[in-house]
A and B are shown apart, each in its own frame.
Chain A
């Protein structure tokens, strides 16, 4: 099946620094990717929709300047957490929609997630 790869799977960074998480669709093209955040023992909350070649669409309450999203190619979206703080520590999951398939309902695939710990 289709694979979405996230890198790194785990990252530890110091407060005040920036960290980048990559989301790649390995065997399909994705004009649209999505970034979710999951707090421990809680559900996934959509942060933003990443659109290839254009600006991301952020959900209400998500800081655009803090969570920078770039979708420069049809197979790669990046999430950069800028000036990270301990409260940004979380599990971040991306998903990607296969652009080649019609709206059949299950053309969105999830990555394995990335653990961010800010110390």
Chain B
């Protein structure tokens, strides 16, 4: 079965420090992996994706994520957090072998960046 796990409901980090938001997944075939950010009362904004190729992908606003097939993980990272990064982050996976269009979302991780 397809699933995404974000083990941390909340991540707290000081501004200027590196941040990591964790994500692990389970799919039948090769996954298409995504990170989205949601600000209060808003829709989802695309950050980055992994489809194939280099395991380290770079996205919007200085975020990056590393695909680790052996650990079935796709953790989101940023070298230096900003207060404006505070938001709700969702990891998502699409399984092209099952239903190409369907997103499976994690439960979300609230990122709090303190000044």
Contacts and interface: CB of A to CB of B under 8 A. Distances in A.
Interface in A86-103: 91, 93, 95, 97, 103
Nearest to B46: A106
A105 B105 contact: no
Interface residues of B, number: 22
B92 to A, nearest CB: 8
A113 B103 contact: no
Contacts of A49: 101-102
Interface stretch (A11-19, A38-46, A62-70, A74-82): A38-46
Given A32-B101, A106-B46, 15 more contacts: A6-B43, A34-B101, A34-B102, A43-B90, A44-B44, A44-B90, A49-B102, A104-B51, A105-B32, A108-B103, A109-B46, A110-B43, A112-B42, A112-B43, A113-B42
Interface of B: 32, 34, 36, 41-46, 49, 51, 90, 94, 96, 100-103, 105-108
